[in-house]
Each structure stands twice: as structure tokens, then as C-alpha cells.
Structure 1
């Protein structure tokens, strides 16, 4: 549509391949639908539907204050671009008068899997909320183009994919654009989101893209991925994205976008083109040169490395182990690294790997079977229902596992009466909160890095759920230990003292009785156990070095690091 020299086209294609295709799991090559906006005047009614019907209650969602209209004043094509215009004006429609108008366009084209590229200039003024996004074709939303024939499902069960939004991110600078996923597992103020700072979006054209495969959804700004959604467990709650979606372009006013300035008159979103790509050619050629090998190994993970070639440009690798199976996708000829997490330490695993193209043509040398054993990884684990905030009906499991100088912390909520659970790791001092990664069900994990072997760390977990939250007690773990940990609390055991470094004997000063003493080396092996005369422990037989001492009194326990000279 725009005047572009052959050299520039070739350069753009090269850059797109290098910096766009290389970052997504599936490359889509065939243009299946587009609008270049070459005909001035009204929008193409064969491709677009004006959604103007107000939802029940007389207002659009999120406290927005605009009317959407089908007038040329709010949407038109001019000089090779679509203009969506938001204006300040008194306008009455459906017996409701509002002070602002805009346009909301539905594509009459819906699709499953593919890539969307939208080249646009986007308004960035206060109070404006421009958006380029998709909704499930099956959404039950009166006034939407597909509603009358396909509207069977409420939001967010239909799934929502936000390619680009601006103006609704408090605390972020001007020109920060966001992408988001809304599903039953996380809707409204979703946790499934990413963002990136762009150069002036109102004055500069940018390409806003979404690449949607059966495995993941990636978002790109100017052909560079900045956020990818790929839930470990894909079901109707986390992945309603195995059915058709359609495009929506609009500018909302007010609501989450904040107060509209008194001097606001009008603003425009200018869209140069929108293009949808899929892979449509019939493919009968199977992949070749399939290889697979073992990469790095830790106490809880094994890396698998795979590569193959195919004319379609994309390889599907299916990995099976321990009765589980999943598929990942990668461009042809590029090595794919997959790290299998949450494994038991010092345990052998067998992986069966097959490769095929996107239509299921299998490689000739399927399957490749790999064996690998995780390394020994000191860890401690336990079960409790203790809470410092709220309460637990059944409790939780916890695992602290040392891998090199990293500690992987995993908590599994056992309560079955809590829904919509997310988890945050709490460091006791200085207090810090980290969002944990969902492994499966209500199991969550987070890894803290660059820890000192023999040091003591104190962590708990906040489980947030529909209607409230519960926070576990803080647990003390000695890095590198298997097993020396306990509840971190200010008890009388915290007040005991002894000289450190230590010679041949540990003399403990304490006003309370000590029932049992255990000393561990840093491999987690008990080297001293004493249940009598527990305030004087002979360590003359131990070699010089760092050890961990556990002291018990009743139901209380404390772990300290000791140095034997």
C-alpha cells in the first residue's frame, strides 16, 4: 500500500525472518486474510462489522464512557489507512446520552492458529484506551458479529487475546504497551501479561503482532517477542484457545484509562494494514535428520536437545516419560532445548521422543529413546498446616532443594476448598515477595539463585485464592543440607549460645533442656547424634570444616552453622 522500494521490501523480509520467525515456535507463511485499507471512504463491510449495541445497564464494561457508532465521523479509510476516531461530543443512542463517541470494529473473519501483524499509530493521550485484540468466536455478547449464530459461551471462558493496549497501566511510563491473556484461570486483572516500552506510538508506526500455535501464544513489537503465554497444563481453564477467534479494533474512553482531560477534543488510531498468516499448503514430505541428545543435568532437571529439518518450516517434538506426554514446536533446522523440571534427585529417567511436521508426517527414525540420571541434590521436605496469616484446612507440603548454589523451593497446597489459587514466596528478612510458577494443580515453585552453602534462609508462602489468602509459617533451611530445617520462630532455643568456631567440644549455654542434638556434614549425613548430656558435645573425631547442628527441645527445633577448627 505504501510506496516501498524492492530493496526495502527485501531488507524488511530478511529482518523479519531473522528477528521475528526465529523467536516463535511455529512459522506461518501463507497470507489468508488482510485489509490494506486502499479504498477511501467507509470501511469494507464485507470484512468489518460495527459493534454498537450497549451492554445491559447502559454502559460499556470497565466504567468506559463512550458510545461506539457506525458513523464515518468515528471510522473511515483515508490515504491508505483506517482511522478510528474518538471524539468529545454529545451523542444519544439507544436512549442513552454520552459525552464521547468512538468505534469498535469486529472482523467478519475468524481463525484458529496463525500470526497477526498490524501496522499502526496508536493514541497515547490521558484517558484514552486504544486496543488491538481478539475474542473467541463463541462469545455470548449481544451486538457482536458472531453472537447470533455462535454465541454460546460467556467471557472469559471464550478466551481473550490482547495484542496491544495502552493507557491502563498505572506506574508505567508513556508509550508502554501491554499484551495479555484472559481465561477462566486468570481474568480481569490477569497475571498472564507482558509489556514493553516503545518509541512514541502516536507519531511512529509500529508492527504489533501475535503468533498463536497449538503450544503457545507469543506477542511481538516490531518483530521482536516480548511476552509468551505457554501454561504447563492446558485445559479449558488455562487454554480456551483451540477454537476460532476474531479481531477487534477500538478506542475506549475513561474507565481504567483514567480521567479524560478537560481540553480533550479528539484522537485517532491509524492502521496501515492488518494481515493474518497460516500454513495452508498440503504437506506430504516428512521431516529428516532427526537427532536428540541429553544436555545439562541438575538434581531436579534434565535438558533434552532436539533438531530436525522439514520443508514446512516447523517441527513438532513429542516427549513422553513417566506416563506423561507433551508436544513442543520449533523452527526447522534450529536446535530445541527443553528442560524437564521437578524431577527426583539421583534418579534415572527414560525419555521417548518423536518428531513430525505440523500435519503429522512422522520422521523415519522415530522414536529416539534417551536415558539420563539426575545428580544428587540435597533437599529437605515436610508437611504442615501451620499458618501465620489465615488458616489451612488440610495444610501444605514443602520442599527445599539445593542445586549448586541455587535453592529450588516448592510448595503444594493440600486444601481442596480453595479455588483460583496463586502463590507468592515470602522472604522473611529483608521482606521480599516473589511470584511462584505453577507446576500443576496447586503446586508452585520458585528458585532463588547465588546462595552460600551452609547459610540459613527463611521463606514462607502466601497462597491467594478466591475470597482470601493464607500464609504458611516461615521455614528455615540450611543451604546444601539434606536435611536440616525447621520453623523459624522466636523461641527459647534462639537464645542458646556457644563458642564458634569450635575446638574439640561444643559447650552450650541454655536455660532450657535440650532433648537431642544432631550434627550433619554438608552432604546431609548425620555424623554426630547425642540424646544425653546434650549441652556438652564431643566433636574431637570430626575433621575441620563447616557443619550443621540441629538442636531439639520438645516440639521445637533450631539449626545453626558451626565451624570446627
Structure 2
């Protein structure tokens, strides 16, 4: 809801999980100047370590309501300060006894701080009978936890997250059962706002990341909780639960950090590290077994969004930009773009033009899009759906994305690029399908046939340098991807040595005299223009934003040490409303 530019990669291989018949039962949008402690939230004040030997003292002073990117947020602030024997302070809140429910779809949109190293942010639920049955008999559902020691060890802090269930009897024998799934995701979840969704039914518990942007995604966590599930799990997750947020510091069992010396994520000068919560919403279907209780009944909004407008903006080989606007008395509008049987939604500020970029498209292809609008209460705009047609730019000889195969098949496809440096040709291929154990081989048909293994340069990206080539000569190249269970081969591409198609030089972009150099880049790229740049986004070929830099200047130097070798898009957004999307090659 906060971010004015939205990126979408449509993952066709995944199954659709999002149902359309959820009804909003309750929400807190945090639009009031203070946290509602009368009807909704309990602010915890203690230094007991949360049962995990955490290093912080939870204080009410560390909880606030702040306006961030135009919307109200509840903010949990972690600080380095000595307080009652602790070296850090932070915040934790819950809705015990005030808001509790059984089953539903729970959505929260949060901006998680950098956890490297020592921060442990979490969004979770516990049984509302906590005070009577105690833990773990009350049951616990951890929808989002970051900062795990496994992420520290693997250097994947920014993308490592997990979900879990905890349950078990307290007497006559204390037994703690736990089911945890933790792994590094495909992109950073600590760069901007992300949507975390829990779908809890009588049969199962499922958790999703960014279900709004990726409506066909698979759950990152799922567990059966029916009567056939093991370890008596059925007895603990069919009752009302309440909500919790906290921003813990340390905790050796989870973060692997037991003292303040190991905490590097919290500045030593007392500057707070912030966890922003945009909203929390609870939906139900009106099915048997559902329960809901709130001390503050939801005011039902019956007014749909109005004044819907949509137009096509910038077009690249693999993306189409849409400029959207609409108004709603709730303060935000949910836009849905549909095409080829796929729907994807994102939320934006009411009454202000927003950019929605659909990425992962095929070059040189005409698409028909339908744009609709609704609000959080699911009131659909009465404005007619807006139908827009757009054709992506055709692939060049030097670069592109395709799913055309000469052997085997591709679903999402592959990216390719060729460039010349002196008398050497650099060939790059990247597998975009969800395959494991990928290895790549260059097939060279230029003079007969030769197969050469390519070098993995990160993820499923592969590169090879062909030396001693003559300018003007035509190379005929393809790539074989071998993976667990099979292989697929790209189509054959013809490339003329010395032709860089002006894609990598990027000497000047006429609209604003934009210059991006050097390109290819090692660790530092400079961006300059005649007009003031508002912000810059670094985007991978899956359409995922890896880095966002606020600029407010005509020239900026951006450090990119965390960006792996490969091909990316760099989007420059100007204060005059113009946008430029260009290729960036990272050595």
C-alpha cells in the first residue's frame, strides 16, 4: 500500500491458491494518531527475555504511530540503551482478550528492518487461552520470523525467513512439539513493504509471501491440522487465537547471539531501528467452525472506489508499465490487472497516480490487459473494467528473454545476452524456470559443433568468454541447461561480433540526458541527468526489486557490492514524472 511503484512477475508454473470469497471481519489500518490500547492492543512491558534469553526490555515508549510513505503505520522501535539491566529496548504488542478468532485469512503488510545481525522480528499468533493453559498447550502459529542463525551462517539474512507451529501438553508431562520451515527466499524481504498471509482452515495452516504480487505462488509453510495429523496437533489449533508483533534483540536459540557484542543490526548511538506495520486484516468466509471476537466492531464500508483511470506507460522487452489512479474513502485503492487467466493485485494511495509494472513478459508479444479496482472491504468499483493493449519490444540480436526451445521445454523461459569486448565475445544465459541443480553448456554451431561448460556466476546465471573472434563474423550459439530430471536447450542465436546493440553502452538517454556509467559495472555505478532524479530501482530479470535508492538529485553514485554478477534492469524515476528503464550488467 505504501510504495508508489509495484513490480509483478507472473509465475505461470504455480497453482492458484487465492480465493475471492473472503469477507473482511476486522482490520487495524493504524490511521489514528495513537495505538488503540482500549479495544485492540496490549503493550507488553517486561525484560523477561521472552522465554528465549532475548536481550531487550520491552517498553511502551518504543511503540509509536508514524506516517511513512503517506500512510499511518504502527512502529516497533529497537534501540541500544541501558534500561533496568538490559542493553537494548524494543516493543511487543498483542491482542489477547481483545481481538481473537478461529480460522480465516490474515494479512499484514510490513517493512522489516535489516536483521544482520541480532534482530529477530516476528508476526505470530497464540491461543487466546494462553493465561489458562500456558505454553505450548495454548498453541502458537509463527507466520513470519527473520534473523535466524542459519541466515547469518549462509549470508542470506535479507531473504531468510521461516514459519512454524508450536504445540504440546503441559501436564502431566511437558512436551513441546515444533514444526519449522526456514529458507532463503528468491529476493530480499528487508528492502521494502511485503505482504505476509496466513490461511487457516479446519484442515490446514498455510503461509504465503507477497500473495498480492504473486497470486499463483506456493506457500512457504504448510501443515495439516486435521484429526489424521500426527502428535495430537488437532487438539491445539481448533480454537480462537490472538495476534502478536514483536521486534526482539538477540536470543541464542534463534539468532545464535547471546550478548550485546554480537548485535550489529542496532546502532550503538541510540538511533532506533524500525519495524513498520502498515495494516493487519482478518477475513473469514462465514463457514462452519469460524469464530470471531473484537471489543471494537468493524465499521462496514459499503462505498466502492470511483474515478478509475488507467493508461500504458513505459514498455520494454519484458515489461509493461501501467499508470493507475482512483479514489476511495478508505484512503487506498486495490488495483487488479488481469490477462491470460492471471490476476495480480496491489494496493496504493487513493487519489494519486501510481505505477504498476508487469514484468516477466515475452519480447515482441501483444498482450490484452483488464484493469479493475476495489477496496479492502472488497467493494468493487462500478466503473467499467478498463481494457488496454500493449506489445512488448522485440528481442535484439544482443539480448532478450524467450521460452522457445530446440530440445525439451521451458515454462518461464531463459534470458540471454551477447556482447563484444576487444576480440572477445561474452555470452550469458540464465535459466528462469524453477529447476534444481542447473548446469549450463554453450553449444557453438559456428564451425561444426562444440559443447563447452559455462561458468556459474550466481544463482542460475552462466557466462562464458570466447576469445580470438573477428569483428563482423557471425557466431551461431545456443545453451543447454541440464538439471535434476532432464535437460532443455535454447533456440540457436546468430550474433555478429562487435555488435553491442547500444544496450550496454547506455551513453545517453535522450528524454533527460540520462547517463549510466560504467556499464558493465563492478561495485559502483554513477547515474546523472539534466533533470532531478527522485529514486532508482535495481530490478532482476524476474521483476523483483533488489535495491531502492532515494535520490533527490541530478547525480548519484550507487554502491552495488551485494548485487551478484548478472543482467539487471535499472529504473530511474524523475521528479518530472518521466521514467527510464535500462539494462545494467554487473561484472
User: What TM-score bracket applies, with the shorter chain setting the length?
Assistant: 0.3 to 0.5
Larger Rg: 1
TM-score by structure 1 length? 0.44
**Which structure ranks higher in relative contact order (CA pairs < 8 Å, sequence separation ≥ 6)?**
2
TM-score, with length taken from structure 2: 0.43
